[in-house]
Amino acid sequence: MMKRPIEEVYGCDAAEGFNKGKKETVVHYRALLHIIKADGKFDLNC
């Protein structure tokens, strides 16, 4: 696996890095919510 350049991952400054992280977190949890809604159940013992 090739690593991405650090600037691409975190951005040029702290604010940009924070916003990228926040956006990726929102996308991640929306995807999980979509999976849960599609499955119709939520099980913590996966």
Distance (Å, rounded) from C-alpha 39 to C-alpha 46?
13
Q: Which two tokens stand for residue 14?
A: 């702290």
Task: Tell me the percentage of the chain whose pLDDT exceeds 70.
Answer: 85
| pTM exceeds cut of 0.75 | no
With beta carbons less than 8 A apart as the criterion, state whether 4 and 13 touch.
Answer: no
pLDDT tens figures, 33-46: 888 888 777 666 65
Burial class (CB in 10 A: 0-12, 13-18, 19+), 11: middle
Higher pLDDT, 27 or 14: 27
